[in-house]
Amino acid sequence: MPDQSKTKKRLIVGISGASGIIFGIRLLEVLQKLDIETHLIVSKAAEMTLAYETDFKLKELRDMAHEYHPMTDIGANISSGSYKTLGMIIVPCSIRSMSEIATGVTGSLMSRAADVVLKDRRRLVLAVRETPLHTGHLRTMTQLSEMGAIIAPIMPAFYNRPKTLDDIIDHTVGRLLDLFDIDAKMVKRWKEDETPAED
Task: Give residue limits of the domains in the chain.
Answer: 19-87+94-178
The partner residues of 89 in beta bridges, in order of sequence, read 13, 125
Largest CA distance in the chain: 64
Asked if CATH classification 3.40.50.2020 holds for the domain at 19-87+94-178, the reply, yes or no, is no
- Confidence (pLDDT) at 2: 46
The secondary structure element, H or E, covering residue 139 is helix 135-147
Residue 115 backbone dihedrals phi, psi, to 5 degrees? -65, -40
Sheet order of strands, 150-151 included: 67-69, 36-42, 9-15, 87-93, 123-128, 150-151
Residue 151 backbone dihedrals phi, psi, to 5 degrees? -90, 115
Distance CA 181, CA 189 (A): 14
pLDDT digits (tens, 9 = 90+) for 94-138: 999 999 999 998 999 999 999 999 999 999 999 999 999 999 999
- Confidence (pLDDT) at 166: 96
pLDDT digits (tens, 9 = 90+) for 52-91: 999 999 999 999 999 999 999 999 999 999 999 999 999 9
At 192, the pLDDT band (50, 70, 90 cuts) reads confident
Tell whether the model's pLDDT for residue 189 goes beyond 60.
yes
